[in-house]
């Protein structure tokens, strides 16, 4: 299984470790040619504005949009979720593919980053929120809530896309790795599990 990871900047190396831990092959995406023959896609955390500026020189987001719309499993974390949101408070839409409104840096600056308890599907664990965005509205009934921190929505699924505002790749706990392996293997039917 080949899993593409957008590698402009951000936590792509940590996601690469997760992919290797489930015996899949990480493909670091730096240009359009890296997108062919992938089984899944990860859009990592980092700085969404920087990713948008880098894209001006590589024009890769159009190809990523086609890949996502093809129905392949797509995971986004933190800034990656900002890229996929249909509405962005404090920023621009980039690759709008999931029916949520998101607010950039909603928890504050870097110094306000924290670890918190997250219920993610059927598991409860501690995950990192680094200059995290906040899902402030769900814009359609196609979006299913899959993760919460206290009463706040921190993870959603819409069809083949799972969008998280936290960083499970920094923990790589067994539950997350088992989930990631299942998510990648489910392919186009991922929305049914």
Which residue numbers are catalytic?
78, 167, 169
Backbone angles phi, psi at 62, to 5 degrees: -60, -45
Token pair in block for residue 35: 């997108």
Short-list 4, 104, 5, 9, CA closest to 54: 9
For residues 8 and 29, what is the distance between their CA atoms, to the nearest angstrom?
A: 8
How far out from the chain centre does Cα 125 lie? 18
- Two tokens, residue 106: 């909603």
Whole-angstrom distance, CA of residue 40 vs CA of residue 44:
13
Q: Which two tokens stand for residue 87?
A: 């509405």
């Amino acid at each position: 299984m080949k899993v593409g990871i957008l590698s402009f900047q951000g936590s792509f190396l940590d996601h690469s470790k997760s992919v290797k831990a489930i015996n899949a092959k990480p493909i670091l995406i730096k240009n359009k040619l890296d997108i062919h023959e992938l089984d899944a896609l990860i859009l990592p955390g980092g700085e969404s504005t920087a990713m948008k500026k880098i894209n001006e020189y590589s024009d890769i987001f159009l190809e990523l949009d086609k890949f996502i719309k093809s129905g392949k499993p797509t995971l986004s974390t933190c800034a990656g979720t900002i890229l996929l949101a249909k509405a962005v408070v404090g920023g621009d839409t980039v690759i709008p593919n999931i029916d949520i409104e998101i607010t950039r840096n909603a928890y504050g600056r870097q110094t306000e980053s924290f670890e918190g308890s997250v219920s993610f599907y059927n598991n409860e664990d501690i995950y990192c929120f680094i200059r995290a965005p906040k899902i402030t509205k769900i814009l359609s009934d196609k979006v299913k809530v899959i993760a919460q921190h206290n009463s706040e929505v921190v993870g959603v699924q819409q069809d083949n896309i799972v969008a998280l505002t936290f960083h499970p790749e920094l923990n790589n706990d067994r539950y997350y790795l088992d989930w990631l392996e299942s998510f990648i293997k489910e392919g186009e039917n991922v929305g049914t599990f």
